[in-house]
Amino acid sequence: MRSATRSFRVTALFHGAALLSGLLLGASWMAPGAAAQNIVPDTTARAGPGALPLEPTRTFEMTASEGSWISVDAHPGGEKLVFGLLGDLYTLPIDGGEATRITRGMAFDSQPRYGPDGEQIVFVSDRSGSEQIWVLDRSEEDTTQVSTGDNLRFHSPEWTPNGDYVIASRQTSLGDAATPWLYHVEGGTGTSLVDGPDDQRLSGAAFGADPEHVWFAQRSGAWEYNATFPEYQLAVYDRETGDLHERSSRFGSAFRPTLSPDGQWLAYGTRHDGQTGLRVRNRETGEERWLAFPVQRDDQESIATRDVYPGMSFTPDSEALIASYGGKLWRLPIGGGEPTEIPFSADVEIPMGPELDFDYPVSNAPRYTARQIRNAVPSPSGDRLAFTVLDRLYVMDYPNGTPRRLTDQDLIQAHPTWSPDGESIAYAAWSNDEGGHLYRVEASGGPDADHRGPRHVPAARVVARREPHRRSPWSGPRLPHVDQSYGSGGNG
């Protein structure tokens, strides 16, 4: 469901899921206009205890030509696309143009996929009050809830080739690994598709020409703090035997498998040198190459509630891949050549709840009480305390002294540890220009710290764990960790 805070802040207008599945990167403002034709509202969800609780009182409108995390699919006939943008679904001529909104309302609709007949579209929506799998029938302009259950989370629904079933990855909580479930389009409780370990995650179901084999991206667990690569690899599930076989071994992981209708091509996402790209594999020869690099950042380090990468689709003739990155939709020719942008213009209409507008006092005084003290360690004699506040190193007489900085370095300082004689303190530090280093400073303080590197500190041996010199905008700096004591010995 969408929510709102301040109307003058565009980024605060949308529910967190909207930020992941279609936050506009560039848009022009427009006056309120007529609604698009053939729109299916989410009025089917208004009854019952699970209905969306927030009634709209305002509307935000604009015209968008860009978006982020856009899942897109090509119509089986090849004449149009369907994609999700800011919680609504749109159709678009395959060569671009004016997008037509086909769902609207407070519900958040996303990740659409065309059925084999081209008339039905499966998608994820919270219009019942809980995220579920829904099917939109374009011929009848009606929606049907396919899945059931409370407090569930779904992503990446896909049709079976006969159009009778839908496969979607399901989580019972954010901490659980997503597992594929099979639902009949006429509804029911569904059934687990793959019999595997409880911590096995399988996302992004995909079919090619063979209806007996389903491709996934697999990993262990839902999420890992300070992730170590690879996180995902491609796997194919045999519906006849129940066997699951791994089909990739990339260090940067492999995810979002997408197969061509003729079965010859496999496209997928991976990470290389800190950036995400799309690769294509010729399944007849095994040869691979980059299809687009770099593209939109993947979601490997997070729980990936909208899958690791937005949905992609081959054209029905298997000659091009349709994908989104850089805020745009693109046609990527499989035979080689430059990607072609598929331009779109979408009239966005976002209903919002009541405005939450209240004053909250924020002090701008030059002196204030620090609310988080980190890495506090007493001196060997117990009469002084070293610690960090706001990434700066302090020392004080314990217990009633006045904290004072030990250096005037403009660095992130962390993990202080005392020398055995209590005369000096070693600590880790970080700067964007130089990376991470170890420093030593006299406990009495001084303007300059003694930088001796991670190996050589005179008169004592500091035990430290060295991390690679790297920095990611998602994970932050990696600091050396200094153990809480000096070792004995010489200069080694």
Residue-wise pLDDT for 271-324, tens only, equals 999 999 999 999 999 999 999 999 999 999 999 999 999 999 999 999 999 999
Predicted pLDDT of residue 372 = 92
Predicted pLDDT of residue 363 = 84
Strand 344-352 vs strand 97-98: parallel, antiparallel, or unpaired?
A: parallel
| 292, two tokens | 């687009």
The 10s digit of each residue's pLDDT in 168-210 is: 999 988 788 899 999 999 888 999 999 988 899 999 999 999 9
Do residues 80 and 73 touch, judged by C-beta distance below 8 A? no
Pair (70, 195) in one structural domain: yes
The 10s digit of each residue's pLDDT in 386-421 is: 999 999 999 999 999 999 998 988 999 999 999 999
Q: Assess whether the previous peptide bond of 76 is cis (omega < 30° from 0).
A: no
**Is residue 418 in some structural domain?**
yes
Flag whether pLDDT at 464 surpasses 70: no
Pair (280, 163) in one structural domain: yes
Q: Using CA atoms, how far apart are residues 364 and 392, in angstroms rounded to an integer?
A: 20
| 273, two tokens | 């040198």
Pair (153, 29) in one structural domain: yes
**Is residue 396 in some structural domain?**
yes
Flag whether pLDDT at 251 surpasses 60: yes
Closest CA to 93 of 346, 288, 299: 346
pTM above 0.95, yes or no: no
Confidence of residue 362 (pLDDT cuts 50, 70, 90): confident
Most confident of 37-41, 69-73, 335-339, 432-436: 69-73
Residues 284-315 as b/e (b if ≥16 CB within 10 A, e otherwise) read eeeeeeebbebbbbbbbbebbbbbbbbbbbbb
Q: Using CA atoms, how far apart are residues 126 and 293, in angstroms rounded to an integer?
A: 34
Q: What is the mean pLDDT of residues 446-465?
A: 47
Predicted pLDDT of residue 444 = 86
Predicted pLDDT of residue 450 = 56
Burial class (CB in 10 A: 0-12, 13-18, 19+), 332: buried
Q: What is the mean pLDDT of residues 147-169?
A: 94
Pair (44, 177) in one structural domain: yes
Residue of 148 and 19 predicted with greater confidence: 148
**Is residue 18 in some structural domain?**
yes
Do residues 65 and 27 touch, judged by C-beta distance below 8 A? yes
Q: What is the mean pLDDT of residues 120-136?
A: 94
Pair (311, 420) in one structural domain: no
Pair (329, 407) in one structural domain: no
Predicted pLDDT of residue 404 = 93
Torsion sign, CA atoms 53, 58, 63, 69: negative
**Is residue 270 in some structural domain?**
yes
Q: Using CA atoms, how far apart are residues 259 and 8, in angstroms rounded to an integer?
A: 43
**Is residue 82 in some structural domain?**
yes
Pair (309, 382) in one structural domain: no
Window from 130-144, 303-317, 384-398, 470-484 with minimum mean pLDDT: 470-484
Pair (329, 387) in one structural domain: no
**Is residue 434 in some structural domain?**
yes
Predicted pLDDT of residue 370 = 87
Pair (327, 413) in one structural domain: no
Flag whether pLDDT at 29 surpasses 60: no
**Boundary residue ending a domain (352, 382, 412):** 352
**Is residue 5 in some structural domain?**
no
Predicted pLDDT of residue 28 = 31
End-to-end Cα distance, the chain: 60
| 409, two tokens | 């370095």
Q: What is the dihedral of CA 411, 417, 419, 422, to 10 degrees?
A: 90
Flag whether pLDDT at 236 surpasses 90: yes
CA distances to 33, 388, 410 from 480, rounded to whole Å, are: 57, 15, 17
Closest CA to 174 of 202, 149, 156, 154: 154
Pair (154, 209) in one structural domain: yes
Q: What is the mean pLDDT of residues 124-142?
A: 89
Q: Using CA atoms, how far apart are residues 94 and 110, in angstroms rounded to an integer?
A: 19
Q: What is the mean pLDDT of residues 371-376?
A: 92
In the sheet that holds 153-159, the strands lie side by side as: 153-159, 165-171, 179-184, 191-192
Confidence of residue 465 (pLDDT cuts 50, 70, 90): low
Predicted pLDDT of residue 341 = 98
Q: Which amino acid is at 140?
A: E
Q: Which helix (H) or strand (E) holds 17?
A: helix 16-20
Predicted pLDDT of residue 456 = 32
**Boundary residue ending a domain (352, 385, 407):** 352
**Is residue 224 in some structural domain?**
yes
Pair (348, 380) in one structural domain: no
Residue of 462 and 276 predicted with greater confidence: 276
Do residues 101 and 85 touch, judged by C-beta distance below 8 A? no
Domain of residue 297, residue span: 10-352
Predicted pLDDT of residue 361 = 86
Q: For residue 107, what is the domain's CATH number? A: 2.120.10.30
**Boundary residue ending a domain (352, 385, 404):** 352
Predicted pLDDT of residue 458 = 42
Pair (203, 338) in one structural domain: yes
Flag whether pLDDT at 265 surpasses 50: yes
Q: Using CA atoms, how far apart are residues 214 and 208, in angstroms rounded to an integer?
A: 8
Q: Using CA atoms, how far apart are residues 53 and 42, in angstroms rounded to an integer?
A: 13
Domain count, the chain: 2
Flag whether pLDDT at 66 surpasses 50: yes
In this structure, the chain runs to a length of 492
Proportion of the chain above pLDDT 90, given as a percent: 64
